[in-house]
Amino acid sequence: MASDLLAHAEIPSTDLDKSKEFLLKLFGWEFKPFGKGYLLFNTHKGFTLGLRKVDKVSTGETTIFHVRVKSIEEHLGKVKELGGDIFREKTIIPAMGAYALIKDPDGNILGLYQTN
């Protein structure tokens, strides 16, 4: 069995600077250049996140990862002003917490998760 659930995730981006700015202002993630057409955010806790330059992002039924946040409402309030969109409003998960889904400027769907 794996020792950690996730080690690394990548988000495709048609505009690395725009994606970098969106994620910095929304989550505080600071990406740094890591090779040609690639930016990396290192949590220094065994998990990294990459932004990979692509010509086109295919949206639709894809894997979605959820970011643990203290307040879904706070993050939803920022999404549109940062160039993203709300895909699914806050939804209660009985006995666990709540989640919401957002779209980044490229249309990638990202989840927000808040525990009780």
The DSSP element (H or E) to which 58 belongs, if any, is: none
Residue pLDDT, tens place only, 16-69: 999 999 999 999 999 999 999 999 999 888 889 999 999 999 877 788 999 999
Threshold 0.85, pTM exceeds: yes
What single letter denotes the amino acid at residue 102?
Answer: I
Residue 10 binned pLDDT confidence (cut-offs 50, 70, 90)? very high
pLDDT attached to residue 17: 96
Domain positions in the chain are 8-115
CATH code of the domain made up of 8-115: 3.10.180.10
Helix axes 16-27, 72-79, angle to 10 degrees: 150
- Give the span between the Cα atoms of 62 and 20, in whole angstroms: 21
